């Protein structure tokens, strides 16, 4: 009780001072806003999947090791060239050759490691010596030369479904880029080069860096577009509710301050904006609608009291405590996301939590100051056309109280049905799916997945116990057996390993006899094949597949899907295969962007569960702190039911409803009257809050990126359903179990 009294004293003195010195409050607020706003031009984005996990993550560290062992590049664009007549014509091959030459000269491209028909070597025997020369060593002069090239390429298992499709209609260029390069800009330059060619070919550009950087640019555009759109829509809805542009401006000012302060703080700290953080302006704009409870009550009090200052003080006396605890529970919920392992989720949680803290501060300082500057008279009073809505909500509350048992049972049934749906939730990370189905990136990725091996890469690293393990025939045969097994899975488009290189060299050394494309029976023969290949080919042709002491081998797996669940299912197949047919003398570990996405996917699920548990604990503590002064002993079933409802539906709405119900009950001692009054008067504020919140997210339904659409639809549904549950279900539950909420009042 002492804490409650102290809070009441602090709240009232803060509100009184703000109402009596409005211009000082406004001036101080603007000065702080300028300070935070000065950091906004320094904004930077980060959509790199690797940065989703901390640098201390074992998966991230191992992935870096693998890239170092095998000279792999984390950022690779895939450029597909499709021709309706097949690529093996002089005209198409000439265009492919010109495209490759132009790509090699682009800034940011690691030219020495570009993989394409004009840059990749094939091994042949000339005069008894193994030699390697570029496959496209000059454009064929006639149809005969083109046909010979087609047979050569399609007869090379190392190239089919990696560089050239099995039907000969598509070829690919794998373009590694520097870490500092922008994949979107390089992709745009490649498109510009391709557009200069007037042939029938179509060009497809995909891969993680182009998707990531395109998403980053689009993320900025969406943030710049939808934040003001959401604000304008909310302004319109606010005006329809209150018929006062002054109240509209006050509410939107609080939203803008929360956004500028929060974004300014995090940008000033050097924290980049991720996809989740890019949505925070809309979230904060919607959360700031909690001040609607203040405006809603003020319109009633202003009409009843007449005196502006008294109306402000009585309004804050009535809604101050529920505003405090509803914002604190929101802060606790978002801040709890910081305990998870996913960095963008941490940043988003803390950013929105701080922004909500700003909303809370403004609710007791700036809002009373702005209300003090409203004109005298009835202009700020609630317009008469809103009164029927309040009366209608009162009738709904009366029906729910009268049919309390039925309403409660229906609510329990709906919760049971929703539990079935919750059990079917599947977390699945897929960067490509963040774009709409008809987008250029989705179309390109789909084509490359069908025609070639796919654009998602998984590495299966077999680490031997000693050097030269890779030269063991049994090791290579086990590696090949694993490849053939996983190639049966629909998600796998292509696998390449050192075993394939050894088989290819062995065939070439034996008069190019297809029956001799096998792994030799001796270590010496394997070692000789690898030595000859390394002497004739470029170093990176072998380095990507085996390390220098021949202790580690890398199976490069191209996947046709970026779905994390598909990668997880494939790795389960790998584990079952190795349990029956282990690789002798070696252990196998996965790496690569596909595996990283899978781990990130699992971490999202774990982080979500951890965050939910932490949020439940924090919110439950705040609920007990809020309601404990009115309880004569520990909370039991009715309070637990209300707490569960609050956590599962709308903790903010429930706090406002229960708090105002208790206030009314203390005045009237009439349970039914208190419930109906709460549904009618504070209930109107709850409905207004929900409609405003939903309108802020409605603009996201028109987004070009699917995560924004999903979040928008989800938030609209949860807020409207939460308001409905609060004004319909809570009156029935309280009427059934009134004891704990009325005893001691």
Same domain, 310 and 389: no
Measured CA to CA in angstroms, residue 621 lies from 332, 486, 618, 625, 640 at distances of 10, 51, 5, 6, 12
> What's the full length of the chain, in residues?
745
Q: Report yes or no on 563 lying in a domain.
A: no
> Collapsing DSSP states into helix, strand and coil, what is residue 518?
coil
Q: What is the pLDDT of residues 295-304, one digit of tens each?
A: 888 888 888 8
Same domain, 279 and 402: no
Question: What's the pLDDT score for residue 405?
Answer: 85
Same domain, 281 and 396: no
Burial tier of 152 (Cβ tally within 10 Å: 0-12, 13-18, 19+): middle
* Residue 370 to residue 670: CA distance in whole angstroms: 36
Measured CA to CA in angstroms, residue 477 lies from 176, 519, 582, 714 at distances of 31, 7, 11, 51
Other beta carbons within 10 Å of 575: 10
| Full strand arrangement of the beta sheet holding 586-591 | 492-496, 552-559, 456-464, 586-591
Q: Helices 637-645 and 706-736, interaxial angle, to 10°?
A: 160
Range in 7-21, 50-64, 174-188, 447-461 with the lowest mean pLDDT: 50-64
More confident residue, 388 or 555: 555
Question: What's the pLDDT score for residue 126?
Answer: 67
What is the pairing mode between strands 129-134 and 121-126?
antiparallel
Same domain, 388 and 324: no
| DSSP assignment of 126-137 | ETTEEEEEETTS
Question: What's the pLDDT score for residue 429?
Answer: 72
Instruction: Pick the last residue of a domain from 352, 375, 398.
Output: 375
Tokens representing residue 144 in the block: 């005969």
| Percentage of residues in the chain having pLDDT higher than 90 | 32
Specify whether the CB–CB gap between 610 and 339 falls below 8 A.
Answer: yes
Question: What's the pLDDT score for residue 743?
Answer: 63
* Residue 408 to residue 642: CA distance in whole angstroms: 12
Specify whether the CB–CB gap between 459 and 66 falls below 8 A.
Answer: yes
Same domain, 649 and 718: yes
Name, in order, each residue with C-beta under 8 angstroms of 248's C-beta and a sequence gap of 6 or more. 235, 238, 239, 242
Q: Which domain does 399 fall in, by range?
A: 384-426+631-745
Range in 48-52, 184-188, 232-236 with the lowest mean pLDDT: 48-52
Q: Residue 606 pLDDT > 60, yes or no?
A: no
Tokens representing residue 252 in the block: 């939107």
- Element containing residue 205 per DSSP (H, E): strand 202-206
Same domain, 253 and 309: yes
Q: Report yes or no on 331 lying in a domain.
A: yes
Specify whether the CB–CB gap between 256 and 354 falls below 8 A.
Answer: no
Name, in order, each residue with C-beta under 8 angstroms of 608's C-beta and a sequence gap of 6 or more. 340, 427
Per-range mean pLDDT, top range of 220-234, 549-563, 596-610:
549-563
Same domain, 303 and 331: yes
- Element containing residue 598 per DSSP (H, E): helix 593-627
Same domain, 298 and 328: yes
Q: Report yes or no on 551 lying in a domain.
A: no
Tokens representing residue 596 in the block: 């990283």
Residue ranges in 38-70 assigned as alpha helix (H)? 58-70
Same domain, 302 and 421: no
Q: Residue 646 pLDDT > 60, yes or no?
A: no
Region 441-445: what's the mean pLDDT?
92
Measured CA to CA in angstroms, residue 673 lies from 45, 393, 744 at distances of 54, 13, 18
Distance of CA 406 to the CA centre of its chain: 40
Q: Which residues pair with 160 in a beta bridge?
A: 164
What is the pairing mode between strands 492-496 and 129-134?
unpaired
Q: Report yes or no on 741 lying in a domain.
A: yes
pLDDT grade for 621, boundaries at 50, 70 and 90: low
Same domain, 290 and 355: yes
Residue ranges in 403-518 assigned as alpha helix (H)? 404-423, 440-451, 473-486, 498-509
pLDDT grade for 614, boundaries at 50, 70 and 90: low
Give the residue carrying structure tokens 């703080």. Answer: 265
Q: Report yes or no on 149 lying in a domain.
A: no
Q: Residue 171 pLDDT > 90, yes or no?
A: yes
Distance of CA 661 to the CA centre of its chain: 39
More confident residue, 199 or 570: 570
- Element containing residue 244 per DSSP (H, E): none
Question: What's the pLDDT score for residue 633?
Answer: 38
Q: What is the pLDDT of residues 702-731, one digit of tens each?
A: 888 787 787 788 778 878 888 888 888 888
More confident residue, 327 or 574: 574
Q: Across all residues in the chain, what is the average pLDDT? A: 83
Specify whether the CB–CB gap between 287 and 258 falls below 8 A.
Answer: yes
* Residue 410 to residue 182: CA distance in whole angstroms: 54
* Residue 372 to residue 25: CA distance in whole angstroms: 11
Question: What's the pLDDT score for residue 391?
Answer: 79
Q: Report yes or no on 167 lying in a domain.
A: no
Measured CA to CA in angstroms, residue 469 lies from 85, 464, 478, 495, 526 at distances of 45, 6, 12, 20, 11
Give the residue carrying structure tokens 């940043």. Answer: 347
pLDDT grade for 127, boundaries at 50, 70 and 90: low
What is the pairing mode between strands 586-591 and 456-464?
antiparallel
Q: Report pTM.
A: 0.77
| DSSP assignment of 90-126 | HHHHHHHHHHHHHHHTSTTB-GGG-BSTTT-EEEEEE
Q: Residue 280 pLDDT > 80, yes or no?
A: yes
| Percentage of residues in the chain having pLDDT higher than 70 | 86
Q: What is the pLDDT of residues 355-381, one digit of tens each?
A: 999 999 999 999 999 988 876 444 444
Question: What's the pLDDT score for residue 33?
Answer: 94
> Collapsing DSSP states into helix, strand and coil, what is residue 456?
strand
Q: How many domains does the chain have?
A: 2
Specify whether the CB–CB gap between 350 and 335 falls below 8 A.
Answer: yes
Cα–Cα nearest to 466, from 386, 344, 552: 552
- Element containing residue 581 per DSSP (H, E): none
Same domain, 360 and 393: no
- CATH code, domain carrying 253: 1.20.1640.10
Measured CA to CA in angstroms, residue 27 lies from 367, 368, 621, 628 at distances of 13, 14, 36, 39
Tokens representing residue 194 in the block: 């391709």
Cα–Cα nearest to 371, from 249, 540, 282: 249
What is the pairing mode between strands 552-559 and 121-126?
unpaired
- Cα atoms in the 13 Å half-sphere on the side-chain side of 326: 29
Buried b (16+ CB within 10 A) or exposed e, 66-103: beebbebbbbbbbbbbbbeebbbbebbbebbbbbbebb
Residue ranges in 487-580 assigned as alpha helix (H)? 498-509, 523-536, 539-543, 564-580
Instruction: Pick the last residue of a domain from 316, 349, 375.
Output: 375
pLDDT grade for 383, boundaries at 50, 70 and 90: very low
Name, in order, each residue with C-beta under 8 angstroms of 235's C-beta and a sequence gap of 6 or more. 248, 252
Q: Helices 593-627 and 651-668, interaxial angle, to 10°?
A: 10
Q: Report yes or no on 156 lying in a domain.
A: no
Specify whether the CB–CB gap between 501 and 495 falls below 8 A.
Answer: no
* Residue 462 to residue 583: CA distance in whole angstroms: 8
Question: What's the pLDDT score for residue 617?
Answer: 53
Tokens representing residue 363 in the block: 């609710």
Give the residue carrying structure tokens 């065939």. Answer: 507
Cα–Cα nearest to 278, from 232, 225, 235, 328: 225
Same domain, 368 and 393: no
Q: What is the pLDDT of residues 524-541, one digit of tens each?
A: 999 888 888 877 666 677
Q: What is the pLDDT of residues 37-96, one digit of tens each?
A: 999 888 887 767 667 777 778 888 899 999 999 989 888 999 999 999 899 999 999 999
Question: What's the pLDDT score for residue 180?
Answer: 82
Instruction: Pick the last residue of a domain from 358, 375, 392.
Output: 375
* Residue 481 to residue 114: CA distance in whole angstroms: 29
Q: Report yes or no on 523 lying in a domain.
A: no
More confident residue, 450 or 53: 450
Range in 443-457, 501-515, 595-609 with the lowest mean pLDDT: 595-609
């Amino acid at each position: 009780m002492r804490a409650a009294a102290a809070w009441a004293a602090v709240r009232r003195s803060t509100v009184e001072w703000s109402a009596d010195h409005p211009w000082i409050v406004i001036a101080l607020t603007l000065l702080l806003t300028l300070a935070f706003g000065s950091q906004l031009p320094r904004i930077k984005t980060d959509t790199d999947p690797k940065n989703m996990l901390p640098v201390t993550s074992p998966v991230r560290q191992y992935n870096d090791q693998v890239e170092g062992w095998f000279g792999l590049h984390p950022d690779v664009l895939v450029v597909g060239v499709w021709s309706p007549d097949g690529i093996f014509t002089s005209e198409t091959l000439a265009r492919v050759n010109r495209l490759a030459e132009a790509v090699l000269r682009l800034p940011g491209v690691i030219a020495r490691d570009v993989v394409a028909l004009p840059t990749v070597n094939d091994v042949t025997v000339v005069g008894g010596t193994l030699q390697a020369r570029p496959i496209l060593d000059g454009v064929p002069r006639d149809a005969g030369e083109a046909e010979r090239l087609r047979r050569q390429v399609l007869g090379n298992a190392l190239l089919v479904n990696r560089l050239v499709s099995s039907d000969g209609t598509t070829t690919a260029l794998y373009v590694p880029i520097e870490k500092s390069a922008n994949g979107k800009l390089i992709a745009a330059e490649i498109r510009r080069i391709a557009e200069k060619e007037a042939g029938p070919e179509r060009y497809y550009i995909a891969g993680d860096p182009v998707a990531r950087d395109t998403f980053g640019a689009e993320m900025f555009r969406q943030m710049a577009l939808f934040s003001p759109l959401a604000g304008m829509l909310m302004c319109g809805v606010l005006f329809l509710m209150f018929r006062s542009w002054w109240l509209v401006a006050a509410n939107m000012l609080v939203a803008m301050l929360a956004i500028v302060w929060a974004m300014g703080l995090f940008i000033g700290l050097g924290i980049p904006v991720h996809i989740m953080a890019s949505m925070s302006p809309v979230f904060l704009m919607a959360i700031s609608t909690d001040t609607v409870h203040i405006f809603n009550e003020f319109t009633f009090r202003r009409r009843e009291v007449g005196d502006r200052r008294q109306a402000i003080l009585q309004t804050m006396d009535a809604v101050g405590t529920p505003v405090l605890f509803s914002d604190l529970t929101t802060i606790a919920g978002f801040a709890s996301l910081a305990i998870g392992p996913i960095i963008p989720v941490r940043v988003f949680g803390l950013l929105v939590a701080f922004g909500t803290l700003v909303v809370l501060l403004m609710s007791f300082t700036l809002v009373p100051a702005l209300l003090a500057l409203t004109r005298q008279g009835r202009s700020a009073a609630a317009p008469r056309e809103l009164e029927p809505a309040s009366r209608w909500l009162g009738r709904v509350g009366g029906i729910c109280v009268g049919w309390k048992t039925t309403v409660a049972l229906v609510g329990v049934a709906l919760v049971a049905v929703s539990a079935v749906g919750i059990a079917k939730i599947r977390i699945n990370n897929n960067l490509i799916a963040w774009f709409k189905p008809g987008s250029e990136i989705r179309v390109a990725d789909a084509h490359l997945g069908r025609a070639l091996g796919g654009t998602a890469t998984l590495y299966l690293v077999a680490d031997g116990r000693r050097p030269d393990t890779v030269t063991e025939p049994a090791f290579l045969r086990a590696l090949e057996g694993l490849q053939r097994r996983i190639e049966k899975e629909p998600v796998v488009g292509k696998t390449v390993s050192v075993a394939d290189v050894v088989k290819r060299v062995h065939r070439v050394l034996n008069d190019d006899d297809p029956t001799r494309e096998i792994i030799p029976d001796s270590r010496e023969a394997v070692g000789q094949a690898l030595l000859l290949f390394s002497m004739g080919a470029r170093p990176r042709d072998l380095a990507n597949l085996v390390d220098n002491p021949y202790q580690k081998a890398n199976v490069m797996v191209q996947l046709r899907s970026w779905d994390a669940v598909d990668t997880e299912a494939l790795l389960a197949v790998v584990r079952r295969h190795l349990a029956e047919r282990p690789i002798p003398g070696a252990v196998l570990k996965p790496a690569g962007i596909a595996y990283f996405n899978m781990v990130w996917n699992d971490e999202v699920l774990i982080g979500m569960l951890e965050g939910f548990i932490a949020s439940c604990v924090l919110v439950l503590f705040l609920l007990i702190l809020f309601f404990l002064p009115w309880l004569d002993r520990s909370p039991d079933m009715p309070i637990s039911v209300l707490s569960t409802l609050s956590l599962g539906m709308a903790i903010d709405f429930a706090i406002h409803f229960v708090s105002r119900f208790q206030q009314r009950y203390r005045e009237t001692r009439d349970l039914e009257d208190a419930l109906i009054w709460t549904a009618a008067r504070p209930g109107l504020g709850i409905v207004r809050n929900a409609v405003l919140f939903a309108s802020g997210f409605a603009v996201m339904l028109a987004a070009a990126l699917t995560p924004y659409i999903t979040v928008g639809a989800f938030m609209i549904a949860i807020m409207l359903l939460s308001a409905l549950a609060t004004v319909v279900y809570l009156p029935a539950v309280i009427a059934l179990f009134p004891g704990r909420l009325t005893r001691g009042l």
